[in-house]
Amino acid sequence: MKIRELALYTGTALSLLTTSMMASAAKVELEVASWKGAGAEVSNFPTIIKKFESQYPDIKVKLNYMARNDMVTVIPARFQAGTPPDVLMVDREFISHWAGNGQLMEIGDQDFVQRIKPDLHPYLGLGKDVYYSMLQVSGMGVFVNDDLFAKAGITQYPETISEFTAACKKLNDHNITPTLLAANNGGWTPYVFFLALGLTDGDVPDPGRIEKLATGKIKFSDDQSMKNAFEAFRQMIDAKCFNPKISAGTDPWSVALTTFQSGRVAMLPQGMWNVTPFLKDELPENFSFHPYPSINGKNGVAMDYIGPGWSIPKDAKNVDAAKKWIDFWSQDENLKIYLESDISLSTLQDGTSSLSQLPLAENYVDARNKLHFVTFPIGSIPNDLVDHMLISITAFMLDSKQDYNKILASWDKVIEKVLAKQ
């Protein structure tokens, strides 16, 4: 009797083990490498992964989270070894490197690509080849502490540089620091502000301008909008909108944010992605997000920042599962879960944009809807010129009396050198 029982239990245990082993063997493990989804940027990933796994019970998602900067080191080694993750989070910069090296799969024929807004298609790859499915369009503009504006008696956000400098005067009269243009760690914030000013050639900017400038069809030194951008910087410095030296030494990713959040500065040019943490902290208590003031038009100009998205490496093992993953994310009901936590604009046609639902970003969304926006030119400007621009704009900030025509001419020279190499 006992032997029979033992045999029965053993048999049952073995069959259960075999069944579970077969079930796990049948499951595809989809490795997703991403710089969002854990740690400081959870972005509702656990909810989305759970939903995905319940829709596709045969796929188990293995999220390999790493900082974006670490991807630069880790992923190329895996590409070369022929063992890349199944799905990769990428942005325009990664696309230009990895797709350019033939390490990513062309996905232009996939249905999910057709769901993306047509005006974003030129940014999905290289030339006509599509390499990634973009998740969000983020943006850059100016955060405003509404309480400090009210204290200085400013009732309307400045749309032009002259209105901006007038606002700075009012703020200074009330002993309020108007702006912090944090330039430490590479001079990124002034660079973006400058591009927003210089790429705008009117109220509805020509989106093709950057291409013409980067290919030498328009000379920087001949371009009045670029000259006006330098003039705008000069006017802001003269009006004491910001202290160039303090700004040059301030880190935009940490100190600048805490300075603005603690109410020590009225305006902060920064990225839309900060809306979420500012709201979470309830600091500043009352704030809003606006387009950059314009020097070449009458309306403020928003700056689109082409966001990250999913791509499939050429040597990915589980291509079908990877396509299902991207397809899943490219449905509004799923993407909006992500966008709820990472406030930005949806890339899908008729997609739900979390930013549009926020009254604090009304002015920004309005500017964008009226096509008063330019796109941040990731990958469009040659790297040599980007480095040169970053340095020379910060240098101009520190010495605004210098002749900007010489700076613009030096940019043209860099373009000439790059073109000569090609």
Partner 1 sequence: MMSMKKTLVQTKANTLSDKKGTTGISKMFTKRSIKTFSLITVMSAIVLIILAPVFYMVMMSFRSRKEIMLDPLNLPSELHFSNYVKVVQDMDYLGAIINTVGITVSSIVLVALISSLAAYPLARIKNKWTNLIYIFFMLGMVIPPFAALTPLYLFIRDLGLLDSYIGLILVYTVGNLPLGVFFYTSFMKSIPRELEEAAQLDGASFIKTYWYIIFPMLKPITGTLAIFVTLSCWNDVINPLLFLTTESKLTIMPAVLRFLGTYSVDPTQLFPAAVLASLPLLCVFIVLSKQVVSGMTAGAVK
Torsion-angle region of 153 (φ positive above 0: left; ψ -120 to 50: alpha; else: beta): left
Residue 349 binding partner 1, by CB under 8 A? no
Residue 114 tokens, joined:
């057709």
Closest CA to 221 of 80, 413, 17, 24: 413
Instruction: Map tokens 């790297």 to a residue.
Output: 383
Q: In whole angstroms, what is the distance from residue 144 CA to residue 136 CA?
A: 23
# chain residues binding partner 1, by CB under 8 A? 39
**Which residues, numbered 224-243, are part of the site for partner 1 (CB under 8 A)?**
none
- Type of residue numbered 338: Y
Query: Whole-angstrom distance between the N-terminal and C-terminal Cα of the chain?
Result: 85
CA pair distance 340, 353, nearest whole angstrom: 8
- Which is closer to partner 1, CB of 148 or CB of 226? 148
Amino acid present at 421: K
The burial class, CB within 10 Å (0-12 / 13-18 / 19+), for 106 is middle
The only residue of 281, 387, 403, 416 in contact with partner 1, by rule CB under 8 A: 281
Mark the segment that binds partner 1 (CB under 8 A) among 15-23, 219-227, 267-275, 321-329. Answer: 267-275
3 state SS of 130: strand
Q: Figure out which of the listed residues 257, 312, 360, 381 binds partner 1, where binding follows CB under 8 A.
A: 257
Nearer to partner 1 by Cβ, of 56 and 253: the residue is 253
Q: Does 81 bind partner 1 (CB under 8 A)?
A: yes
80 makes contact with partner 1 (CB under 8 A): yes
Label residues 406-422 b or e (16+ Cβ within 10 Å = b): ebbeebbebbeebeeee
Sign of the C-alpha dihedral computed for residues 259, 262, 268 and 272 taken in this order:
positive
Q: Which of 47, 56, 64, 395 touches partner 1 by CB under 8 A? A: 64
Q: Is 270 exposed, middle or buried (0-12, 13-18, 19+ CB in 10 A)?
A: buried
Tell me the C-alpha distance between 422 and 411, whole Å: 17
Tell me which of 228, 261, 299, 318 binds partner 1, using CB under 8 A.
Answer: 261
- In the bound state with partner 1, the residue whose beta carbon lies nearer, of 130 and 322, is 322
Binding of residue 315 to partner 1 (CB under 8 A): no
Counting contacts by CB under 8 A, is residue 56 touching partner 1? no
Q: What is the DSSP letter of 97?
A: I
Q: Could you give the 3-state DSSP secondary structure of residue 33?
A: strand
Work out how close the CB of 277 gets to partner 1 at its nearest, in angstroms, rounded to a whole number: 6
Buried b (16+ CB within 10 A) or exposed e, 189-202: bbbbbbbbbbbbbe
Q: Does 403 bind partner 1 (CB under 8 A)?
A: no
Candidate residues 27, 41, 206, 231; the one interacting with partner 1 per rule CB under 8 A: 41
35 near partner 1, rule: CB under 8 A: yes
Which of these segments, 45-53, 62-70, 94-102, 155-163, binds partner 1 (CB under 8 A)? Answer: 62-70
The sign of the dihedral angle between the CA atoms of 336, 340, 342, 345 is: positive
What does the block give as tokens for 164? Answer: 């901006």
Answer yes or no whether residue 271 interacts with partner 1 by CB under 8 A.
Answer: yes
| Pick 270 or 296: Cβ nearer partner 1 | 270
Does 285 contact partner 1 by CB under 8 A?
no
Q: Determine which residue in the list 27, 60, 66, 207 makes contact with partner 1, applying CB under 8 A.
A: 66
Rounded to the nearest whole angstrom, what is the least distance from the CB of residue 76 to partner 1 in the complex?
7
Q: Are 180 and 327 in contact (CB under 8 A)?
A: no
Give min distance, CB of 317 to partner 1, in A.
13
| Distance in angstroms (rounded) separating the CA atoms of residues 149 and 241 | 14
Binds partner 1 (CB under 8 A): choice among 1, 26, 40, 420: 40
Does position 340 interact with partner 1 (CB under 8 A)? The reply is no
Q: Does 67 bind partner 1 (CB under 8 A)?
A: yes
> Which residue number, 62 or 169, has a Cβ lying nearer to partner 1?
62
Least gap, CB of 182 to partner 1 (angstroms): 13
Phi, psi of 324 (to 5 degrees): -65, -40
SS3 labels along 60-76: EEEEEECCHHHHHHHHH
Out of 277, 320, 387, 416, name the contact with partner 1 by CB under 8 A.
277
Residue selected from 6, 7, 15, 39 as contacting partner 1 according to rule CB under 8 A: 39
Taking CB under 8 A as the criterion, the residue among 47, 60, 65, 97 binding partner 1 is 65
Contact between 7 and partner 1 (CB under 8 A)?
A: no
Q: How many other C-beta atoms can be found within 10 angstroms of the C-beta atom of residue 320?
A: 12
Binding of residue 62 to partner 1 (CB under 8 A): yes
Q: Which residues of the shown chain bind partner 1 in the complex (CB under 8 A)?
A: 31, 35-36, 38-41, 62-70, 73-74, 76-78, 80-81, 83, 85, 253-254, 257-258, 261-263, 271, 273-274, 277, 281-283
